Amino acid sequence: MRKYTEQWDEGRRRIAGWLYRHSWQLAAVLALGVLTIGAYVLWPRPLAPGVSPAAISADDVEAAQQRTVIVYVSGAVRHPGLYTLGSTLRVSEAIVAAGGLLDSADPNCLPNLAAHVKDASQIAIPLIGHCAKGKNARLDINTATREQLLGVPGIDAALADAILTYRQDFGGFVALTELKSAMGLDANTYKELAKSLTVN
Structural domain range at position 167: 138-200
**Vertex 183, ends 177 and 185: CA angle to 5°?**
75
Q: Which residues pair with 84 in a beta bridge?
A: 70
- In-domain check, residue 29: yes
- In-domain check, residue 44: no
| Rounded CA separation 166/184 (Å) | 12
| Rounded CA separation 72/83 (Å) | 6
| Rounded CA separation 110/127 (Å) | 10
- In-domain check, residue 81: yes
Which of 91, 112, 132 is a domain's end point?
132
What are the pLDDT digits (tens) for 155-200?
999 999 999 999 999 988 999 999 988 888 898 889 989 888 988 7
Is the CB of residue 128 less than 8 Å from the CB of residue 154? no
Q: How many domains does the chain have?
A: 3
Q: At residue 131, what are phi and psi to the nearest 5 degrees? A: -80, 135
- In-domain check, residue 56: no
What is the pLDDT, as a whole number, of residue 51?
47
87 and 113 part of one domain:
yes
- In-domain check, residue 77: yes
- In-domain check, residue 30: yes
Which of 100, 132, 164 is a domain's end point?
132
167 and 186 part of one domain:
yes
- In-domain check, residue 45: no
Cα-based distances in Å from 166 to 151, 171, 180: 19, 8, 13
- CATH number of the domain that residue 156 is part of: 1.10.150
Half-sphere exposure of 135 (CA within 13 A, CB side): 0
- CATH number of the domain that residue 112 is part of: 3.10.20
Per-residue pLDDT of the chain (200 residues; tens, 9 = 90+): 555 566 656 666 666 565 556 565 655 556 566 667 765 666 655 555 554 545 566 666 666 556 899 999 998 999 999 999 998 999 999 999 999 999 888 887 888 888 889 888 889 898 887 776 544 457 889 988 998 898 888 899 999 999 999 999 998 899 999 998 888 889 888 998 988 898 87
161 and 124 part of one domain:
no
What is the pLDDT, as a whole number, of residue 15?
63
- In-domain check, residue 126: yes
Burial class (CB in 10 A: 0-12, 13-18, 19+), 178: middle
Which of 91, 109, 132 is a domain's end point?
132
Is the CB of residue 102 less than 8 Å from the CB of residue 147? yes
Helix spans in the chain (H) = 2-21, 23-42, 58-65, 91-97, 146-150, 157-170, 178-181, 187-193
What is the pLDDT, as a whole number, of residue 61?
60
